[in-house]
């Protein structure tokens, strides 16, 4: 039995359609796993924030906060599951196109290793980076008046991350083309990531909101951890399921 | 065996995949769709967006997108 990370004896290049189907299936699986995490963990972390909102609305009298009457809590929990599955599919579609375009440039001896690497990059840029710059907040924290500013910061951070990855990739391939060894290249790439990350944290504007005094720190902290955990499950699922499915396929010798 | 397994592997494993234009089109449509259901604050979908926003509200918050 061959180990997962070793070099296969025969490896074929998948056609894009074959790659696309497997990665999107992985997106459905990953979305369902992260959706289950949402039902079990994140949804529960949201509950105290919603209670706080209701308490505020009751205190103000005729509170109309965010149309709680539109959906029941269990319907919203289901929406959280379904929305996460949809996000998994959308991210998998993006992943498939990018993986198809860069597969021949990715280090790694197998498709499993390459898919895992790209999924780790995806988690770093699309989940961890915004979590550092503009961390997720539960309901009852954000100021509705600043939502457009916060959306711009979030989008700008994602964009900076994508540009940053391309810069680091360009640096790595430039160093490798000059014959620089892997240790030196790894050190240079890590330094470049550190500098770029610091630039994003310093130069992209901060979240303008202050967290209201009636929101317990534990409510915000638990929610942020749960949110990051959910995104980690999503990206780990895309990497593991997508890598496993694709690796199995590319190892099989093409039918002749 | 005419060429070494190593050479075959290098040729096959590192070959380029051509990504068709439809894949990028679907990617853009999917990302825009995700924006509509998760992030739209009524700019594009008006009241339907409000309903979608409320239904997917948990997902919007838990995936780290800015909200109220
Ligand atoms: Zn909200």
Tell me the residue range of the domain where B23 lies: 19-68
CB A182 within 8 A of CB A175: no
**DSSP states along A186-239:** HHHHHHHHHHHHHHHHHHSPPP-----TTS-HHHHHHHHHHHHHHHHHHHHHHH
Partner-chain residue, chosen from A13, A42, A226, that has the shortest CB–CB distance to B15: A13
Mean pLDDT to the nearest integer, B7-20 = 66
* B3 within some domain: no
How confident is the model over A160-188, as a mean pLDDT?
97
How many angstroms separate the alpha carbon of residue A76 from the centre of ligand 1?
12
Q: Judge whether A24 lies within some domain.
A: yes
Domain count for chain A? 1
Specify if B60 maps to a domain: yes
Whether the per-residue pLDDT at B7 is higher than 50: the answer is no
What distance in angstroms lies between residue B66's CA and the mean position of ligand 1's atoms? 8
Burial grade of A227 (CB within 10 A; 0-12, 13-18, 19 or more): buried
CA-based nearest residue to A6, from A247, A254, A252, A255: A247
Q: Residues of chain A with pLDDT > 90: what percent?
A: 78
Nearest by Cα to A122 from A241, A237, A235, A243: A235
Whole-angstrom CA distances from A213 to A105, A135, A210, A217, B63 are 50, 18, 9, 9, 24
Q: Is residue A126 part of a domain?
A: no
pTM above 0.95, yes or no: no
> DSSP assignment of A81-99, as one string?
HHHHHHHHHHHHHHHHHHH
Q: Judge contact between A227 and A131, C-beta under 8 A.
A: yes
Backbone angles phi, psi at A142, to 5 degrees: -70, 150
Q: Which domain holds residue A234?
A: 9-111+215-256
Q: Do B31 and A101 touch (CB under 8 A)?
A: no
Has residue A124 got a pLDDT over 50?
yes
Tokens of A177: 């083309």
Position A88 in a domain: yes
Tell me if A151 sits within 8 A of A205, measured CB to CB: no
Give the residue with greater pLDDT, A112 vs A255: A112
In a domain, B1, yes or no: no
Task: Evaluate whether residue B2 is within a structural domain.
Answer: no
The alpha helices in chain A, defined as continuous H runs, are 16-37, 43-60, 73-102, 111-123, 129-133, 147-177, 182-203, 217-251
Q: Tell me if A32 is assigned to some domain.
A: yes
Q: How confident is the model at residue A7 (pLDDT cuts 50, 70, 90)?
A: low
Q: Kindly state the average pLDDT of the residues A3-23.
A: 80
Q: Residue B4 falls within a domain, yes or no?
A: no
**A227 found inside a domain:** yes
Residue B33: inside a domain, yes or no? yes
In a domain, A145, yes or no: no
Name the domain count of chain B: 1
Specify the pLDDT at position A6.
65
Q: Which residues of chain B are at the A interface, by a Cβ-Cβ cutoff of 8 Å?
A: 5, 8-9, 12-20, 23-24, 26-27, 30-31, 33-34, 37-39, 41, 50-51, 54-68
Flag whether pLDDT at B25 surpasses 80: yes
**What is this model's ipTM?**
0.85
Mutate to test the interface with A, among B7, B15, B68 (most CBs of A within 10 A): B68
* Section A34-54 average pLDDT: 94
Give a yes or no: residue A202 inside a domain. no
Tell me the CA–centroid distance for residue A142 and ligand 1, in Å.
Answer: 8
- B8 lies in a domain? no
Token pair in block for residue B41 = 């604050």
Confirm whether A229 is domain-assigned: yes
């Amino acid at each position: 039995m061959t180990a997962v990370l070793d070099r296969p004896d025969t490896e074929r290049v998948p056609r894009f359609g074959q790659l696309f189907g497997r990665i999107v299936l992985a997106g459905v699986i990953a979305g369902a796993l992260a959706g289950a995490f949402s039902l079990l963990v994140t949804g529960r972390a949201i509950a105290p924030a919603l209670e706080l909102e209701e308490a505020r609305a009751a205190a103000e009298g005729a509170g109309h906060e965010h149309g709680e009457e539109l959906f029941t809590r269990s319907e919203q929990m289901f929406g959280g599951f379904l929305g996460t599955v949809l996000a998994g599919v959308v991210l998998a579609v993006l992943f498939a196109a990018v993986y198809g375009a860069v597969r021949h440039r990715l280090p790694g001896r197998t498709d499993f290793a390459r898919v895992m690497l790209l999924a780790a990059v995806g988690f770093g840029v699309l989940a961890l980076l915004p979590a550092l710059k503009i961390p997720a907040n539960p309901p009852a924290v954000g100021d509705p008046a600043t939502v457009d500013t916060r959306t711009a910061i979030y989008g700008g951070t994602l964009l900076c991350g994508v540009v940053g990855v391309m810069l680091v990739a360009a640096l790595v391939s430039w160093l490798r083309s000059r014959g620089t060894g892997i240790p030196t290249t790894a050190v240079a790439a890590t330094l470049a990531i550190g500098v770029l990350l610091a630039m994003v944290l310093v130069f992209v504007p901060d979240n303008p909101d202050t967290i209201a005094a009636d929101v317990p720190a534990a409510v915000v902290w638990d929610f942020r951890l749960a949110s990051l955990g959910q995104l980690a499950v999503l990206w780990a699922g895309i990497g593991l399921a997508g890598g496993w499915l694709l690796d199995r396929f590319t190892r099989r010798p093409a039918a002749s | 065996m005419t060429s070494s397994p190593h050479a075959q592997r290098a040729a096959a494993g590192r070959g380029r995949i051509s990504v068709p234009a439809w894949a990028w089109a679907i990617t853009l449509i999917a990302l825009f769709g995700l924006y509509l259901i998760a992030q739209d604050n009524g700019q594009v979908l008006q009241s339907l967006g409000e309903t979608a926003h409320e239904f997917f509200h948990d997902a919007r918050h838990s995936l780290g997108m800015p909200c109220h």
